Amino acid sequence: MRAEVVAVGTELLLGDIANTNAQVIGRELARIGVDCHVHVAVGDNIERIAEAISGALERADAVILTGGIGPTQDDVTREAIARATSDSLIEDPNLAKDLRAKFSRLGRPMAKINLRQAERPSRASSLPNPIGTAPGVLSELNGKAIYAIPGVPSEMVAMLHASVLPDLARRAGATSVIVTRVVRVGGLTESAVAEALGPTWDRLVQGNVTVAFLAGGGEVRVRLTAKATSEAAAAVRLDAVEEEVRRVLGVAVVGGGDETVEIVVGRLLAARGWTLACAESVTGGSVAARITDVPGASATFRGGVVAYATEVKPSLLDVDPSLIERHGVVSGPVARAMAAGARRVMEADVGLATTGVAGPTELEGTPVGTVVVAVSGPLGDVDREVRLPGERDNVRRLTTTVALNLVRLYLLEALEP
Amino acid sequence: MRAEVVAVGTELLLGDIANTNAQVIGRELARIGVDCHVHVAVGDNIERIAEAISGALERADAVILTGGIGPTQDDVTREAIARATSDSLIEDPNLAKDLRAKFSRLGRPMAKINLRQAERPSRASSLPNPIGTAPGVLSELNGKAIYAIPGVPSEMVAMLHASVLPDLARRAGATSVIVTRVVRVGGLTESAVAEALGPTWDRLVQGNVTVAFLAGGGEVRVRLTAKATSEAAAAVRLDAVEEEVRRVLGVAVVGGGDETVEIVVGRLLAARGWTLACAESVTGGSVAARITDVPGASATFRGGVVAYATEVKPSLLDVDPSLIERHGVVSGPVARAMAAGARRVMEADVGLATTGVAGPTELEGTPVGTVVVAVSGPLGDVDREVRLPGERDNVRRLTTTVALNLVRLYLLEALEP
């Protein structure tokens, strides 16, 4: 069973809103095991919507349209379905009665234009809308299904679950589900992850599990997808592949899908009964902001100092000014002293520091993208210098992740001092 | 001139992420006056990407592909372009050289798999990637253009502006343009902005300028759009409408489209020759992070203290502990003392402080969403208590904007002490 999604609305093409309806429908189709190979977005235009329907039905067994079934003149999905199925629109007396009843329950007068919502292709049936006024449409062409539901997300979701998915599952004879799992990896590039998994690639994709890599924000997410006859059967296969991925990548694995590095750091600190404090220069508060994004952060996070002006480092973080003179502000010794200072002045067990050059221009001969992160704590002091690509935003974002990953590895005792 | 967008990535079909790349590209095409009637999303599959390219070129003069040009085995957009144009892939020695140089500049070894990114269809040219490693592709079929750029949003945007849009505009001969301008408004709700502009609405929309409101992140963006034969003609109409909007909304106007409140604050500080320091509790570093997002922030920003644990406030910010006992940590007197402390300990002219309850649970009887922000400086000390809607993330994000807007109004001398 294969279905496609056609989202209708000129606002999608103009980029006024993101096509989140296609995202939600795609996720739900995968969950019930219906393949979906194409999403299309088209404007409020009868001919182009009709073409999108015909195109989808050439490739798939069903098409789900979202949007364009409201009352106004630019809502033309009903007309487009009629055109694609060589049908014509009629006013359905039952729908008209329902509409009048809905408006009277809401205590609102019904504008004449709302009667457009009582129209449907003559051979189609209608799908009830439990939330709004616009009924959906279910039409057929050569045994293939055409569903039309609203573009308003809440109504779309309600009707997807109440009408579309059950009907699709019935037509599919519901034989399979697609289950997805994500493993987050820190400190490695996308190609390094792919290369590390290369030798076991065959074992990974056996049993029909597909593996994909998504890089971004200093992390690589490895996505494992299995199609099986049940959620349980998919889980068995995914368990085996996830175990293999975790074995090969070792401590580079940060956690499962929702486990961000800041969540994992909080958990590792809590397990040891330790607290953390930050000293940030190049990241300007982003490390503290990510740590405190996690509910309950106050149990393990003491606070941070954003030492942006060089003079703030000695005064607030108790950094020896001669270290800065001797090694420069972007250096291992200064980063270590900042981490140790944060730990001391905020009475934390572990201190984490970032210093570096985010740009736009180099600093005292140190090029943009040069960054040093350091950890100071009961297990000793470590620092790491890295060169990061891209511009200011990117350098700052990546440094934040690199720093959090360093403290994660420190707490796992996976670093050479 | 007509172009279509094809977004590549199985993660889009599975609903792991929303197709925001299509949204951004759609918006930019509209801006330069290129019609776009269809967006398509397909998975990492050579045949289906090739079909999407062919389908798009039947309807349009150009197709922009985003995604699938990374180094890993599932990146197959290059292969699909070769198939759609009856071409074959070659390894471009110049691209291979560039790749090696990029990796060596970053001080990283290049995995062999990265050489996939040096491949291109033999008759295609490549588009430079100023941020990442994957070069883009520009191919042609019967005089129509096929562009391929990365799926990573920052790289996609950079290459769209640097390569794709200028080439498209050149091919289009550019006959009409849509010009959009945004006015950012702080401290008012969407409906308050709409109501304030109500009486002058007719004057606003005369001359074919459309006005829309976009609320989010504690700000309202008023978007003005004009379609005209030239950028200059559009600018004349937009100038008149923007002037009216600014006159009506007064000091609530933060700035133009790219002028975030943090940029404006930096400019106002520089104009007075003043510096700023922050003391953050509820915002956990987000205020400092936003301020230091702006290139050149070091000229006016001294640093910040994230006083997450209550004990850190007295020790690092020199806040009298009896104030906390008497008024509670979320109170005007404590917020003022934090702002004054930040100013003192970091030797800044102005101090900005945030304290509040982000949740998930209330704090000492103070409900989630209660926030106090304060400014201390040469013009006196002020604090403001606000109640913010939503959950943890939202409260933190809104507080950051409210705090930055408070210091903006302070520097404009638009606050009652």
Task: Give the nearest partner residue to A391 out of B102, B131, B283, using CB atoms.
Answer: B131
CA angle A181/A187/A190 to nearest 5° reads 60
Residue-wise pLDDT for A24-66, tens only, equals 999 999 888 899 999 999 999 999 999 999 999 999 999 999 9
Tell me whether residues B304 and A285 touch, CB distance under 8 A.
Answer: yes
Which residues from B are below 8 Å from A198, CB to CB? 113
- Closest Cβ opposite residue B303 in set A55, A223, A306: A306
**How far is the alpha carbon of A42 from chain B, nearest alpha carbon, in Å?**
5
Query: B interface mutation test: which of A292, A301, A361, A394 has the most B CBs within 10 A?
Result: A292
Predicted confidence band at A174 (pLDDT cuts at 50, 70, 90)?
low
Reported as a pLDDT band with limits 50, 70 and 90, residue B180 is: confident
Its sign, for the CA torsion B232, B237, B242, B247, is positive
pLDDT at B206: 66
Mutate to test the interface with A, among B38, B47, B108, B179 (most CBs of A within 10 A): B38
pLDDT bucket at B135, cuts 50 / 70 / 90: very high
Report the pLDDT averaged over residues B111-130. 93
To 5 degrees, how large is the angle CA A13–CA A16–CA A19?
A: 65
Check A293 against B393: CB less than 8 A apart.
Answer: yes
Locate A57 and state its tokens: 């039905």
Record: contact B288-A306, CB cut-off 8 A: yes
Residue B388 gets the label, from left (phi > 0), alpha (psi -120 to 50) or beta, of: beta
Would you put residue B44 in left (φ > 0), alpha (ψ -120 to 50) or beta? Answer: beta
Q: Do B74 and A212 touch (CB under 8 A)?
A: yes
A286 Cα to chain B: minimum distance (Å): 5
First to last CA, chain B: 57
How confident is residue A277, by pLDDT bands cut at 50, 70 and 90? very high
d(CA A353, CA A283): 9
pLDDT per residue as tens digits for the range B253-286: 999 988 999 999 999 999 999 999 999 999 999 9
Cβ within 8 Å, pair A15-B37: no
pLDDT(A190) > 70 = yes
Has residue A10 got a pLDDT over 70?
A: yes
- Average pLDDT, whole number, for chain A? 91
Q: For residue B26, is pLDDT > 80? A: yes
pLDDT confidence of residue A228: 84
Query: Which residues face A7 on adjacent strands?
Result: A41, A66
pLDDT over threshold 90, residue B128: yes
A377 or B390: which leads in pLDDT? A377
Q: What is the pLDDT of residues A241-262, one digit of tens each?
A: 999 999 999 999 999 988 999 9
Alpha carbons B332 and B338: distance in angstroms, whole number = 10
DSSP B241-278: HHHHHHHHHGGGEEEETT--HHHHHHHHHHHHT--EEE
State how far Cα A65 lies from the chain centre: 23
For chain A, give the number of residues: 417
| Closest in A40, A287, A292 to B38, CB measured | A40
A93 to chain B, minimum CA–CA distance in Å? 35
Q: How confident is the model at residue B223 (pLDDT cuts 50, 70, 90)?
A: confident
Buried b vs exposed e over A34-57: b needs ≥16 C-beta within 10 Å?
bbbbbbbbbbbbbebbbbbbebbb
Pick from A17, A37, A394: which is nearest to B43 by CB?
Answer: A37
The answer for residues whose C-beta is within 8 angstroms of residue B272's C-beta and 6 or more apart is B349, B411
Cα–Cα dist A118/B79, whole Å? 48
pLDDT tens by residue, A350-400: 999 999 999 888 888 899 999 999 999 999 999 999 999 888 888 999 999
Contacts of A316 in chain B (CB under 8 A): 303, 305, 316, 345-346
Lowest mean pLDDT among A6-20, A240-254, B166-180: B166-180
Q: Which of A37, A211, A306 sits opposite B13 (nearest CB)?
A: A37
| Mutate which: A25, A37, A281, vs B, most B CBs within 10 A | A37
Alpha-carbon gap: A413 to the closest alpha carbon of chain B (Å): 24
Q: How far apart are CA A31 and CA A281, in angstroms?
A: 45
Share of chain A above pLDDT 90, in %: 66
A89 has pLDDT over 90:
yes
User: Based on the number of CB atoms within 10 Å of its own CB, is A94 exposed (0-12), middle (13-18) or buried (19 or more)?
Assistant: exposed
Determine whether the interchain pair A303/B301 forms a contact, defined as Cβ–Cβ distance below 8 Å. no
CA dist., res. B185 & res. B194, Å (int) = 11
Amino acid at A284: G
**pLDDT beyond 90 at A74:** no
For B19, the closest of A18, A36, A284 (CB atoms) is A18
* Lowest mean pLDDT across A176-180, B6-10, B41-45: A176-180
Least confident range of A146-160, B166-180, B229-243: B166-180
Amino acid B378 reads P
Inform me whether the pLDDT recorded for B38 exceeds 90. Answer: yes
Q: Give the pair of three-digit tokens for residue B398.
A: 């809104």
Q: Which residues of B touch A303 (CB under 8 A)?
A: 305-309, 312, 316
The predicted pLDDT at position B64 comes to: 98
Size of interface A-B (CB pairs under 8 A): 278
Task: Decide if A45 and B27 are in contact by the 8 Å CB cutoff.
Answer: no
d(CA B284, CA A303): 8
- Residue B332, class by beta-carbon neighbours within 10 Å (0-12 exposed, 13-18 middle, 19+ buried)? middle
Q: Which residues of A touch B307 (CB under 8 A)?
A: 303
Q: Which of A43, A213, A305 sits opposite B37 (nearest CB)?
A: A43
The whole-number average pLDDT for the span B368-391 is 93
Least CB–CB distance from A40: residue in B27, B40, B292:
B40
Contacts of A190 in chain B (CB under 8 A): 70-72
Residue of higher predicted confidence among A376 and A209:
A376
Strand pairing of B350-356 and B370-377? antiparallel
Compute the distance between CA of residue A229 and CA of residue A176 in angstroms, rounded to an integer. 4
Residue B41 to residue A24, Cβ atoms within 8 A: no
Q: Which residues contact A396 (CB under 8 A, 6 or more apart)?
A: A282, A283, A284, A286, A358, B292, B293
Contact B306 A292 (CB under 8 A): yes
- CB–CB of A307 and B309 under 8 A? no
In this structure, of A72-76, A339-343, B166-170, B372-376, the range with the lowest mean pLDDT score is A72-76
Is the CB of B72 less than 8 angstroms away from the CB of A38? no
Please write the tens of the pLDDT for every residue from B277-314.
999 999 999 999 999 999 999 999 999 999 998 888 88
Chain B residues closer than 8 Å to A388 by CB:
106
How many angstroms away from the CA of B75 is the closest CA of chain A? 9
Q: Name the closest residue on chain B to residue A36, using Cα atoms.
A: B13
A interface mutation test: which of B53, B110, B292 has the most A CBs within 10 A? Answer: B292
Nearest CA in chain A to B6: A40
C-alpha distances in Å from residue B364, one per residue of A66, B226, B334, B357: 47, 52, 15, 10
Per the CB < 8 Å rule, is A309 touching B292?
no
Least confident of A34-43, A49-58, A191-200, B140-149: A191-200
The pLDDT of residue A417 is 61
Contact assignment for A27 to B15 by CB distance below 8 Å: yes
Give residues with Cβ within 8 angstroms of A1, minimum separation 6. A33, A34, A35, A61, A62, A168, A171, A172, A173
Chain B residues close to A304, C-beta within 8 Å: 285, 304-306, 308
pLDDT at position B207:
65
Q: Which residues contact A166 (CB under 8 A, 6 or more apart)?
A: none
Average pLDDT for A82-105: 92
Partner residue opposite B26 with nearest CB, options A13, A55, A215: A13
Within 8 A of A306 by CB-CB distance, chain B residues are 278, 285, 288, 292, 303-306
- Per the CB < 8 Å rule, is B52 touching A38? yes
3-state secondary structure (DSSP) of residue B363: strand
pLDDT at residue B254, as a whole number? 97
Distance from CA of A97 to the nearest CA of B (A): 35
CB-closest option in A194, A308, A369 to B303:
A308
Q: Which amino acid is at B123?
A: R
Among A39, A216, A295, whose Cβ lies nearest the Cβ of B40?
A39
Q: Which of A200-214, B152-166, B402-416 has the lowest mean pLDDT?
A: A200-214
Indicate yes or no: CB of B287 within 8 angstroms of CB of A284.
no
What residue in A sits closest to B42 (Cα-Cα)?
Answer: A38
Beta strands in A12-111 (DSSP E): 38-42, 62-66, 89-91
**Secondary structure E strands in B150-252:** 177-186, 209-216, 219-228
